[in-house]
Each structure stands twice: as structure tokens, then as C-alpha cells.
Amino acid sequence: MTASTIGLDTPQVTARDKVQGRAMYAGDIKLPGMLHAKVLRSPYPHARIVQIDTRAARALPGVKLVLTGQDTPTRLWGTHRKEQRILATGVVRYCGEEVAAVVAVDEETARDALDLIRVDYEELPALLDAQLALAAGAPEIHAGTANIGHEMRIERGDVAAGFASAVHVYEATYTVHSQYPGYLEPMGTVAQMDGSGKLTVWTSTQSVFLARSRLAEALDRPLSSIRVVQAVTGGGFGAKIVEESNSLICALLASRLQRPVRLVNNRLEDFMGARSSVPMQVRLKMGVDAQGLIVAKDVHILAECGAYSGLAGDVMHVTAMRSDSMHRVQNVRSHAVLAYTHNPPRGSFRGFGGQQMQFPLNSHLTVLAGMLGIDPMEIHARNAIGAGEISVHGWKIGSTGLIDCLAQTRAAISWDAKRQRQPGHGSKRRGVGMAAAMHVSGNRTLGNWDGSTIVLKMSEDARVVLMTSECDMGQGANTMLSQICAHELGIPIAHISVATPDTDVSPYCLGSLASRVTIISGNAVMRAAREAKAKLLQMAADKLQAPLDALVYGDGVVSVKDAPERKATLAELSRLHIFRHGGQGLLVQTTYDAPTVMHDANYYGNVAPAHSFATQAVEVEVDTETGQVTVIDAFVSDDCGKALNPLAIHGQTQGAMAQAIGWTLYEELQIEGGRMMNGNFADYTMPTADSLPSLRTGLIESIDPNGPYGAKGASETAILPGAAAIANAVFDAVGVRINHLPITPEKILAGLRAQKTSGVQHA
């Protein structure tokens, strides 16, 4: 019997191509007659474009095309608000906005041509602070918006009565900053027009169909005239969904030239063009009763989207409400405002708004636990929502391993022993901290469909091709789909391949977002494989002249139970499915749409089919002389339902932990006067192997009723608790509570000085 890989460590099916250098990223694609593009960006955060002189650039030998905003379609594009041209027209709204594009025979010539373009700007006052942008009388960045990109209010229960019943109430303000996605592969696109007028775009993307919709909108072309093919994608982390401009510019240039065009960002261009995470200020007030149960929560959020709103409003939506559903709290109120500024646009990032609230929430809960004199682990356990319960926002919790995650984390980090040790008195002091989080697996918010369609095609030798437009961006989607298909059909995983997502031939899927691929497309491929198996069995029943219940299926063969010599291989049955009167190739198409609903006008409704939970504990060492914080130990317990591929989940969890440590301690976009000052990896400090501890992870299998074999998402939850766990550990070590990220040596030293002079323990 062919061994199933479900639940076993399974190498990525894409790994061999990547390590052997065979994987074709967008930047690797070479087409006959291909030209190369570069982009000129604004040096000002806000300015009127008085005049653009491109004559010298056009005259440079080797230059084939120069476009400015005046040459672009007038139709505006945007995720929700239609507010942006492909190239800036009339005015630039942030430093780095795309102003002109050049196509030449090679990149060097294109770069030289950029230097020859003369742009006369009239610099205008820039709004670089979200609070100033929302002040009365502030000039509008987009007419008619009052500089509000999105606003939401939610109130459930009786918040005032909840606070009145509380024995302890704590209120504090937190700020969180932008984090660059930091993927290995910068954005890249190759585009070409064919003789029929079809525009084909190969690009680094998390969703080929969402990318096609955006291209059609921005280029003002029919959807059917555009084909999007996913190139091998070297990481996305949310930033390659629908917000970058690289693919739009490349597609426009190719459509004008009728020749293939390649546009690949260098790292500085990617820093300027990518959507980093949404910075926010969060004012949080919470009350607990004598047992430590949360009786009221009130939150005010000021988020900043930069010059264009994109997905930032959706991110803020998550910050405002998702974390409420990990607890049994019934009295909650949220008011969140998204402000336009003349800073670079912000948008989707791994965790999608969860980090921005889990840092304040988990910091708060540790403070409240201290007020009550109970362990922080205990306050989480007492408030944890249970399986089968419905949250304050109408979310049905099918499974949760949060209590088990807490227990696993407690044991793994030696929590009790380290909490009871005597405080240090030397210059280096250690402390422990923890935090917990939840995330969705799937999310019915983009429209009234959260589904996936799989086409399964079996060849005459019983090998299988899966056709899907769910995108593997390195997280292992193709491996997971292959595992499920192999398990259901009882064939080796090596006999399955997953076709490249291609809008011309792949069925419609939403793509890799909201940790949806495992639970949504996993269910779809499971159904497809079972239907294909049923067709094979029916074919065998006809061929072997035996009833279905008399057949045995396994090891690539179908045989008759009481006469095993009467048998047929899957390859024979697949051929017979074609070569018979009225026959056809064995092809199955199935769709799975999650059993969820769109939320109502008050954001109430069961929008996700499953929810993942995680807890993290860290041990830090704080040098009281330098302020340096070092993470000594870190452990994350991840509730992923059923671990289909533990190897992949551990890798995803460790990567998420590294990103969280980077956001908390090292990474910070330095923007001065609207200009990015550290748009490269020399100055933008990401954590390296030397600055990370051994990242330890554990799995909890809560078995979700909606997931394939009980599986749910396992790519995002682990990034969410890191910042609060570190901040809580710092407080445990030296008594300084940091509410404003990142946690820098300067803030630690300031807090220690404040301790000595006035007893203040906040920085």
C-alpha cells in the first residue's frame, strides 16, 4: 500500500527546482526581443508636476519608449477607493511615487535615460502626521475625503456597565510602526502582447485573478484581454496581493510597444514601491473582575495608510475587532480611523492587522494579571473562548487549542521556575514574558464567496495534474495539495504535479491570503480526488464485471476482493476511461465554498470557517548599561488543527517568529520629511542568524470540523504574539514597560533613568 504523507514531515515539492537554480522567477524570464524598463520616482512627498521634459531621454540611443502620467489611462484604480493613476499625473503625493517610465534595450540604457528626464516640481506643504492630517482645516490629500481613508465604529453589550463592574481598569496608549515585508525576491514582472491583442503578464503575485482584475481596471482593458501567469514567487508576506505598481507599469509599457518588457525592482525601488505594514496608535482601556475575567474593552485606533488607502482599511478592520473573538468578552467598543498622509502607502502584511492589536492587548493582560496577583498564563486561560462557542462578533469557534497551547508553552520555556527565580542585580538581567493570539483560516470579506475550485486531470499512466490558481509563494501550498491528492488516490506524491496558476487555464480562486489555502483549497482537492477515485472504481466495476462493494483499491490497482487475480491498474482504468464508446479523459472539477456568511453592516457574522490560535513565551536578557535586549529563548505553540506537514509548519512558525523579533527589536523604516532614509538591507536592520536564538516550536492538533482531516491555517498566527511577549519579558527583567515599538536601547535606558528619578516605568 502506498504510504500516505499526511501528518508526516514532507519536503516541499518545489524544493529541488529552487536549490538547483531551475525555478523561473519573473526576473529570470527571457523572451525574444525583450526590452527592459526602469521607473523615475518623485523626490518630494508632495509637489505639483509643472512640466516633464523627456526629449533628451527619448533621443538616447537604445531607448524605445518614455511614458509619463499624461500617457496613462485616465481610469483610476484602487482596492476599494479608486484614487490612483498608473503614473502620477498633475501632483505627486509621496516620495517615491512613480512619475515616468523608460523602456530600452537594456537596464543600463534605461537607467541612463532616467537621468535625462527633467521634471519641474513646485514643492507643496506635506502632511506627514496622521493627527495633523485629521485636524480641522487640514488640506485634503484626496478631495472630499477629509483625509479619512476609512472609519469604523463597533459597540456590543454595555461597555459602561462592564467598566462599572470591574475591580481593576487599565488604560494605556501604544504605537506600532511600519515593517518592510523583506521577501528575498523584489517585485518583478515580464509582459508581452501577442498578435491577437492578448496581454500576458508573468509576475510575482499571491493571486493571479485579483492581479488580473486590477490590471484590467488600471489599464482600462477587458478582463478577457489579459492573461496573468504566476512566476515562481520568492516570498510575499501579504505585500504581493493587489497593491504594488510594478506589474501595472510593466503591462502598460508592453501594451504600448507590442514587444516583451521586463521590469524588476532593485532593493531600493522595492522599499519605495512595496506596501509596508500599517502603523497605528492604539489607545486601549480594559477592565477585569475579581476572577480576572474581562468585563469591558474600549479601543480607539488611529491608523495611517499614507498617500493611498489600498488594503490599509481592511488591515485596520482586523486590528479593531479580530482579537475580541479569542476571549469570552461581551462588552466591547471600537472606534478606528484611517488617515491619509503624504507618507508612502501602507498595506497588507503577514498577520494582517493582528500584530497591531496583539501587542497592546497582551501587554495589557499582563499588567492586569499583575494587578490581580495572578499569573499571566492564568488570565489567558480563564478568558479563553471554547470550541462550540460564538464570539462577541458572531464567530463560530469550531476548534481551539488555546488552552493546550498555553500548557505546552508553559512547560517548554520552564515558565514557573523562571518566574519564581530571584531578580538579578548585575548589569545583565533576565526576564520571561508571554502572549497569545488568534487568526482566521479563510475570511468572507472580499465578496460573498470564499471558495476554491480544483481541476484534477489524470493521464493515461495514472499520473495527476492539479490545476488551481491558489498561489504557492514559498509557504508550501503545492506540497499540501499534492499530499491530500496522493492520500485520497493512494498514489505516490511524486506522481502528482501542480500546474502554474494561469488565468487563461486555471479555475478561479482567490489566492494566498487570510491563511485560507489549506482549509479552502485543501477541501476542494480532497473532494476532487474522491470523485476521481469514484470514477476509477466505476470503470473497474464495468471492466471486471463486479459490484462496487466487491472491489479493493490500493497500490495503484483495483481488484476483486474474492478473486484478486481479476484486477486492473489505475493506468489501465485511466486509458479505458478514454478509449471506449463515448469515452473521455478522466477530468474532475470540484469547488469548495466555506460555510460562512458576509458580516452585516455592524460587522457581525461568522466570516471564517476556522480559527487558529498560538501562544509564545520568550526569555530575554537586558543589559542595563547599554539598553541592549537579547532574546535568549523563544517558544511558540501553534494550534493548526491537523498538522498535514509538520516540517512545513515548523518552518513557517520559525519564520514568523523571526519577523516578529525583527519588528520588535531591530526593524524600523526611517522616514524623515516624507523621505525614506534606509531603503536597503545595509541600513534597514533585519535580524540575522547571530541575533536570533534557537527558535523552538510545538504543534497542537485541535482537529477542526471544517478542515481537511481537521487542518486549518498555520502560516500567520505565530507572528502575532512576539512583540508583546518580548515587551512583557523586558518588564519582567528590569521593570520598564515599553508601549511604543520598536524596543530600542535608547527607550530601555530612558525607562531605567525614569525609574531612578520618579518611579515611572513606561517608555
Quickly state the pLDDT bin for 715 (edges 50, 70, 90): confident
CA distance 633 to 413: 8
Position 761 pLDDT exceeds 80: no
Tell me the longest C-alpha to C-alpha distance in the chain: 92
Strand 332-340 and strand 346-347: pairing?
unpaired
User: What φ, ψ does residue 306 adopt, rounded to 5°?
Assistant: 80, -150
pLDDT beyond 80 at 762: no
Query: Residue with C-alpha cell 501528518?
Result: 7
pLDDT at 487 (0 to 100) = 97
Percent of the chain with pLDDT over 90: 97
3-state secondary structure of 174: strand
Beta strand 551-554 pairing with 496-498:
unpaired
Q: What is the rounded radius of gyration, in angstroms, for the C-alpha atoms of the chain?
A: 27
| pLDDT of res. 758 | 77
C-alpha cell at 164: 462599572
| Res. 426 pLDDT band, cuts 50 70 90 | confident
- CB count in 10 Å sphere of residue 290: 10
So what's the pLDDT on residue 118? Answer: 98
The three grid cell numbers given for residue 453, joined into one nine-digit string: 475550485
Residues 53 and 68: their CA atoms lie apart, in Å, by: 10
3-class secondary structure, 558: strand
C-alpha cell of residue 346: 501602507
Q: Give the pLDDT mean for 398-414.
A: 98
Q: What are the start and end residues of each CATH 3.90.1170.50 domain in the chain?
A: 31-126+182-273
**Directed axis angle between helix 745-758 and helix 722-734, to 10°?**
40
* DSSP string over 573-598: HHHHHHSSTT---EEEEEEEE-S---
Q: Domain 276-444+600-758 classified CATH 3.30.365.10? A: yes
Cβ atoms 234, 240 nearer than 8 A: no
Q: What is the pLDDT of residue 148?
A: 98
Question: How far is Cα 170 from Cα 295, in angstroms, rounded to an integer?
Answer: 12
Are β-strands 294-306 and 332-340 bridged in parallel, bridged antiparallel, or unpaired?
parallel
pLDDT at 424: 74
Domain covering 31-126+182-273 in this structure, CATH number: 3.90.1170.50
Phi, psi of 107 (to 5 degrees): -65, -35
Closest to 282 measured CA to CA, from 327, 308, 321 = 321
Helix, strand, coil tally for the chain in percent (to 5): 30, 30, 40
Report, as an integer, the average pLDDT of 604-614: 98
Helix, strand or coil for residue 724? helix
Q: Which residues belong to CATH 3.30.365.10 in the chain? A: 276-444+600-758, 451-593
The pLDDT assigned to 73 comes to 97
Residue of 194, 214, 325 whose CA lies nearest to 260: 194
Q: Which CATH number fits domain 451-593: 3.40.50.150, 3.30.365.10, 3.40.718.10, 3.40.640.10?
A: 3.30.365.10
pTM for this entry = 0.97
Exposure on the CB side of residue 425, measured as CA atoms within 13 A: 1
pLDDT digits (tens, 9 = 90+) for 649-677: 999 999 999 999 999 999 999 999 999 99
Alpha carbon distance, N-terminus to C-terminus of the chain: 62
Question: What are the DSSP E strand ranges found in 331-404?
Answer: 332-340, 346-347
SS3 228: strand
- Where is 405: in which H helix or E strand? helix 402-412
Mean pLDDT of the chain: 97
pLDDT higher than threshold 60 for residue 452:
yes
**pLDDT on residue 179:** 98
Q: For strand 610-623 and strand 428-441, is the pairing parallel, antiparallel, or unpaired? A: antiparallel
294-306 vs 98-104, strand pairing mode: unpaired
Give the C-alpha distances (Å, rounded to integers) separating 220 from 46, 150, 217, 241: 27, 26, 5, 20
Residue 589 reports pLDDT greater than 80: yes
Mean pLDDT within 25-32: 97
Model confidence pLDDT, tens digit, residues 149-163: 999 999 999 999 999
Please give the Cα distance from 68 to 578 (Å, whole number): 55
Residue 23 has pLDDT above 80, yes or no: yes
Give all strands (DSSP E) within 442-516, no chain letters.
451-458, 464-467, 496-498
Q: Which three cell numbers stand for residue 714?
A: 498555520
pLDDT digits (tens, 9 = 90+) for 221-278: 999 999 999 999 999 999 999 999 999 999 999 999 999 999 999 999 999 999 999 9
What are the pLDDT digits (tens) for 182-222?
999 999 999 999 999 999 999 999 999 999 999 999 999 99
- pLDDT category of residue 763 using cuts at 50, 70 and 90: low
